[in-house]
Chains A and B, each alone.
Chain A
Amino acid sequence: ETGVTQTPRHLVMGMTNKKSLKCEQHLGHNAMYWYKQSAKKPLELMFVYNFKEQTENNSVPSRFSPECPNSSHLFLHLHTLQPEDSALYLCASSQAGANYGYTFGSGTRLTVV
């Protein structure tokens, strides 16, 4: 356990489903991130939240909708996904303004059928 917990670990969903990925950190961090890792590709930054405010959205399609209700929780709401959205979705947290690395969760392996 790294201090960042992601649920579920695996998710299979149909293209018309709506599902949510959850991330929780108990490290006292105030910044949280969503990354996507497709097969044989580098990690891609999707969203950044600092102090619960979204500060970055890297041209992510609207079928991905993040939510950060407090500095310890981060959600990624999914709807009408495509098969090419199948990937490992990783959450990370850090202390904003500090020169430390990120702490990543173990990820959610998403398969869209």
Chain B
Amino acid sequence: DAKTTQPTSMDCAEGRAANLPCNHSTISGNEYVYWYRQIHSQGPQYIIHGLKNNETNEMASLIITEDRKSSTLILPHATLRDTAVYYCIVREDYGQNFVFGPGTRLSVLP
């Protein structure tokens, strides 16, 4: 069963922020939100994860709503190399394997 819902595709202008939404309305208290991306014909790449606080690293920021039912991955200055499929996954701490859905295909346009 899909635990997350993401738009099928999005476009973003180069240099602008890319905001990728994810709905996870049935998330439980011990489940984390993870984001991966997959550039064409490569393996998925881990981006970031969080439980309830907002997180930031060198790649992106993760904003999780207070009720934890949705989140947004933010790429602050998208480049052409950020064109990829982005996957939002919820997973229990220490336990479950990652189950990938169809993700969002982000196209960064020049």
Contacts and interface: CB of A to CB of B under 8 A. Distances in A.
B41 A103 contact: no
Nearest to B97: A45
Contacts of A42: 100-103
A42 B94 CA distance: 23
A102 B100 contact: no
A88 B46 contact: no
Chain A, interface size category, equals 20 to 34
B99 A103 contact: no
B44 interface: yes
A101 B49 contact: yes
Contacts, number: 48
B45 interface: yes
A45 B42 contact: no
Interface stretch (A66-74, A76-84, A90-98): A90-98
A104 B45 contact: yes
A99 B43 contact: no
A49 B18 CA distance: 36
Contacts of A90: 43-44
Interface of B: 32, 34, 36, 41-46, 49, 93-94, 97-103
